[in-house]
């Protein structure tokens, strides 16, 4: 659980708002993209998880702290760290920084729940997924 995953994010017009900086809700999308790529790096595509195991991750609880605004054309990266693995949930910490920096522009702590994809109800994670999260 000590591995750190990195994913690059580039800021486009679609990400900004009339305040001249990144719209606050869009940081939450960047963290989601990075989680998708973190899972892919562990060997899991979410389309395949849904198809093979009938389940998916949903966000249960998310705390976001905004430190410094990002701007159009910025080259950033997200780091993702697992902080706890439960039977039906995973806790993560994610941080967004400039490409050559570790100073967080924005960071989040969140809890993902594993749910049955049909009924969207909490269920136990597949063993293969839990093992990968624990390595």
What are the residue numbers of the active site? 17
Q: How far apart are CA 36 and CA 57, in angstroms?
A: 10
How is residue 18 written in tokens?
Answer: 């009339």
From its phi and psi, is residue 92 left (phi > 0), alpha (psi between -120 and 50) or beta?
A: beta
Instruction: Tell me whether residue 48 or residue 101 sits nearer to its own copies (CB atom).
Output: 48
Give least dist CB 2 to its own copies, A: 26
| Chain residues that interact with its own copies, rule: CB under 8 A | 10, 12-14, 16-21, 23-26, 28-29, 32-33, 36, 45-48, 56, 58-66, 69, 71-73, 117, 120
- At its nearest, how many Å lie between its own copies and the CB of residue 47? 4
- Rounded to 5 degrees, φ, ψ at 125 are -65, 150
Q: Are 95 and 109 in contact (CB under 8 A)?
A: no
């Amino acid at each position: 659980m000590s591995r750190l995953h990195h994913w690059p994010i580039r800021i486009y017009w679609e990400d900004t708002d009339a305040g001249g900086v990144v719209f606050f809700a869009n940081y939450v999308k960047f963290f989601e993209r990075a989680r998708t790529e973190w899972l892919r790096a562990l060997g899991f595509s979410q389309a395949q998880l849904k198809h093979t195991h009938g389940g998916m991750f949903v966000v249960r609880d998310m705390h976001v702290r905004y430190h410094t605004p990002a701007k159009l054309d910025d080259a950033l990266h997200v780091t993702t760290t697992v902080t706890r693995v439960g039977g039906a949930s995973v806790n993560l910490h994610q941080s967004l920084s400039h490409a050559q920096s570790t100073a967080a522009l924005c960071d989040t702590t969140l809890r993902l729940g594993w749910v049955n994809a049909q009924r969207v109800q909490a269920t136990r994670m597949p063993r293969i997924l839990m093992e990968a999260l624990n390595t």
